[in-house]
């Protein structure tokens, strides 16, 4: 299970809890939540962009409890994420979440490396190869 250490500052939003781990990887745990309004989606994207600080990040994201996003939200993320992401390791313990993620990425393949994992440490190890890349 993905959890922050005691020395990590957790940034909480309506949909996720996020923190940077000791390697500089942005870790994220999706919350169960009702569908977001357009304003909430816009704020979430602004928060993510601000958090990136203008650099591309490696992300370790637990999507087990993620709520399926609307088409517009998926398209916005598909447009914005390549500007701010080097690679994403997705974690899920839910067969439904895995199926939804696989379907989304099959329809709109990301332009950055993305791989699914069950174990956070395996995902973290995979991401380390991308940390030093520009």
What are the structural domains of the chain?
Answer: 11-128 (3.30.750.24)
Q: Using a cut of 0.75, tell me whether the model's pTM lies above it.
A: yes
% of the chain with per-residue pLDDT over 70: 96
Catalogue the long-range contacts made by 14-18 (C-beta closer than 8 Å, 24 or more residues apart): 14/40, 14/43, 14/44, 15/40, 15/44, 15/67, 16/44, 18/51
- 31-90 pLDDT, tens digit each: 887 776 777 777 777 887 888 888 899 999 998 887 777 777 777 777 888 888 999 999
% of the chain with per-residue pLDDT over 90: 34
Burial track 42-73 (b if 16+ CB lie within 10 A, e otherwise) = eebbebbeeebeeebbbbbbbbbbbbebeeeb
């Amino acid at each position: 299970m993905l959890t922050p250490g005691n020395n990590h500052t957790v940034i909480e939003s309506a949909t996720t809890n996020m923190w940077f781990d000791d390697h500089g990887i942005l870790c994220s745990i999706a919350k169960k939540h009702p569908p977001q309004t357009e304003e909430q989606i816009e704020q979430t994207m602004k928060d993510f962009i601000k958090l990136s600080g203008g650099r591309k990040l490696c992300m370790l994201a637990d999507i087990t409890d993620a709520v399926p996003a609307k088409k517009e939200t998926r398209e916005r993320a598909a447009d914005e994420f390549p500007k701010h992401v080097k690679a994403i390791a997705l974690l899920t313990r839910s067969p439904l979440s895995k199926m939804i993620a696989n379907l989304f990425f099959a329809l709109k393949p990301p332009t950055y490396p993305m791989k699914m994992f069950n174990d956070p440490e395996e995902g973290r190890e995979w991401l380390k190869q991308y940390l030093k890349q520009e």
